[in-house]
Amino acid sequence: MRILISTNMYPFQRITHYGIFVQREERSLRALGLDVKVYFINGKESRANYFKAVFELVKIIREFKPDIIHVHHSYTVYPTKLAQMISGIRVPIVFTLHEGAAFSDKVVGKKDFFNRLRHWKKVKKLACEMADFVIAVNKELLQVLDYTGPYEEIPCGVDVDFFKPMDTMECRKKLNLPFDKKIVFFPSSIERAEKGYELFCRSIALLDGKIKVIVGGNINPNDMPIYYNASDVVAQSSVYEASPITIKEALACNLPIVSTPSGDSPRILQGVEGCYISRPHFLDFAANISQAIDFGRRTNGRKRILELGFDLMGTAKKILSVYENILK
C-alpha cells in the first residue's frame, strides 16, 4: 500500500521538534510494511510554499500514484485537494485534525491575520468536508466544528520504547541538574502564548524557592526522555489543546502531572494517582503542583497509556485499519 503524507508539520533544521509526532507516525506506518512518501509544506519558512505545493504535489501524485493521501492540518488540505484534482488521479484523502485552536473563540497571542485564521472554525470544518475521511485526535473537535461526516478518533501515539522510566539521579547527572531540589518540567515552548506560561510562572512564584524549573522549546528531541525522568513533576498549563502529546510522554515515563482541563487531558489522566487536573487559576495550579511534589513517587501512567492503546504501534495499526476500510 502506497501512502502519500502531505503535512505542514514536520521536523526541519531550524525547528527539529516541529511536528515530530507526524514523523514518528510515519515511521511506525513504515514498520507495518507500508510504502510511505512525505511531502512537507514548510509554511514556517514562507507562506508562499502553500502555493508552490500545488504544482509539486501534482507531479508527486502522478509519479508516486498513492493509494491514499494522508493530510495533516487543515491548511494543508486545500493545496493537496487542488493538486489531487489537477492530477486527474482520483485517490482518497484522509485528513488528521490536530488543531486545538478549534476549542477557543478567543485569539491567544498576537492578533495578526494568521493567528486569527487559526481560530476560524469554518476553515477547519471545510477542510474536514473536503476530505473523504477524517481522523480526529480528539472527537470533541468535530463536535465544536459541527462536522457529521465519516470519522474515527485516533490520538497521536507515544513511542513507549523511547519514553520510559529511567533513573532520576542518573538523568540529572547527565543534564548537570541539582540533586537536592524538586524539579518541575514545563515541556512546551514558552513563546507559544496558548501554552499558558504566564499562568505557570504565577503559580511557581507562590511555591518554595527550592523548586527548580526547566522549560522546553529548544530541547533536542532525543534528550526529552532524560528531561522528563530528571523531573519530579510535569506541568501543562495550556489555554487549549487537542490531545497533548506531552501528557502521554510524561505518562509513559510514570511521572506525576499537573494539567489544566485542556483537550482530552482529563480523560487520559483519569484514575492515575499522582496526576491532577487543575482549574486554570494560579492559586489552584500552585496547590496542585505542591500536591504532585508531595506525592513523591512515580505513577502508574505507563499502564494507563497501554490500556488506552496510545502506544505508537497501537496507533499505527488503527490508522492502517482506516486505510484498509477506505480502500474496500
Can you give the pLDDT at residue 55?
A: 96
222 CB burial (10 A radius; 0-12, 13-18, 19+): exposed
Can you give the pLDDT at residue 210?
A: 77
Cβ atoms within 10 Å, residue 5? 24
SS3 98: coil
Distance CA 259, CA 270 (A): 12
Straight-line distance from the first to the last Cα atom of the chain, in angstroms, rounded to the nearest whole number: 13
Q: pLDDT: is 100 or 171 the higher one? A: 171
Contact 118, 109 (CB under 8 A): no
5, 81, 153, 157 from 69: Cα distances, Å:
6, 9, 18, 20
CA-atom Rg of the chain in angstroms = 20
Can you give the pLDDT at residue 106?
A: 63
The pLDDT tens digits for 49-66 are 999 999 999 999 999 999
SS3 58: helix
Helices and strands in the chain: count of H runs, count of E runs: 14, 11
The pLDDT tens digits for 118-131 are 667 899 999 999 99
Assigned C-alpha cell, 150: 465519516
Can you give the pLDDT at residue 92?
A: 97
pTM of the model: 0.92
DSSP state for residue 242 in the 8-state scheme: S
Average of pLDDT values for 104-116? Answer: 61
